[in-house]
Structure 1
Amino acid sequence: MPDAADADGLTVGQVSTRLGVTVRALHHWDDIGLARPSLRTAAGYRLYTAGDLERLHRIVVYREIGLGLERIRAVLDDPTADVLGALRAQRTQVAQRIDRLRQLSAGLDRMIDAHERGLLLTAEQQAAIFGPEWNADQHAQARQRYGDTAQWQQYAERSASRSAEEWQAVADAVADLDRALGYAVDAGVTPGSPEADHLVERHRELFSSSYFPLTRQMQVCLGRMFEADPAFAAHYDGIRAGLATWFRRSIDASARAHGIDPDTATWQ
């Protein structure tokens, strides 16, 4: 507590410096009758006594622990006020805020990790969910290539809040779609047919809900990559021979039906 022995006759500026509160706050507390200076100069300037300084110090302490000004007034002026009860109640609220801040801190840590790593799963979890052939390093590679894009940010934000069980649901949905694509090739489904268009739209909706919003133009760009990239082509052609090309053609046909020229489609 500040030494009040020599406090009689302190100006507003001096009190502000001693207690670390603004002059504006001191004026406000005076105006509402919470902490009025006991003295005035002949010119009407406020002067605070040692007793005033002690009251102000208590106000600052109570305000620091989160009590509102009216509650502080009651604690200081009401002889029937349950000061201990008020402090205990405030301690409970502070503990709750601390717990909430810890939760926020943990959430921020996950968000930072997701932006840096993409997938917040261990290598063992990834293998269990996506299969033993899954490349656990591909998200780090994707981060290097796409880390500055809006799509990576959207993906990271979703990844930060997704559990292993939710990733398992995504993997199951992708596997179901892959099987449906293979069955379509077996059945001789033609790109541009209603059946093929349905599968293309199913892919776009699944991708959008799992990773980031996928426009039809962006889907055309993915279709090119599915056919041209050796890893993606191996994945789709491993399901059915020629599936990578069939899927790219089906995506192109669906895009044309929606007024998009696949030859000029860009990532937007």
Structure 2
Amino acid sequence: MVNEGITMRDPVNADNTESVDYAVGQVARVAAVSVRTLHHYDEIGLVSPGRRTAAGYRRYSEADLQRLQHVLFYRELGFALEDITAILDDPATDTLAHLRRQHELLTRRIDRLRSMAAAVEHAMEANVLNIPLTPQERFEVFGDFVPEDHDEEARRRWGHTGTWRQSRAKMAAMTKADWARFTGEAAQTVRDFTEAYLAGVPATGERAMELAEGHRAHLTRWCYDCSYDLHRGLGDMYVADGRFAAGYEASAAGLTSYIRDAIHANADRAEHSG
């Protein structure tokens, strides 16, 4: 929240006879924006302080902070400042409507990032250049993600292994429908892990381990024979490689480590049961 942590009262309001308001420096620190940014927002009428002191200093009210919070949400979602001004000044839109709109937009972005994370994950695990797709089909499948960008890295990491050769052969045989099922399953796995994590299911619990086993089976079915040792290594790589982590963390902070821990717990269970 934008106003989280702001507790200092204006000295002129110390007797509680007026509403609490905040200095520009306080607002800048808590909202993680610069004072210059706040001055600019004031100058263009986007977020103007509710009052000024006799000396001309800006003082922001709770309502001003709420408006700033909406501005920062929309800015994060890529809206231009002039568009944000029009949105916030629409008399037909109240605070709840803004929050609903922001929630919808953020949900769309999360779904997109989940899909991209699944595509990046499997593109880095194996070379996907030989998937027999037309240019139009490749755009439908990958969007603006370019598998070739990761080809050299994948070759460098796994090109000398039998796993690489097996994965390359399986990927080359995939049709467009196969690839859609493959990425759809991967995205569902991320959603399931996210749901379990947010619900407080322990990574060493039965549910999380079953999800890890499902992930291992998914890789074996579509890519290569994924042993438990290999699966452990993938879990460790997800945490160590910031690109994997960025995709998972978009769903929930801490999700990457949770997936890694569930993978390790599942592998431990298999070893002990064997």
Bigger relative contact order, structure 1 or 2 (CA pairs below 8 A, ≥6 apart): 2
State the structure with more CA Rg: 1
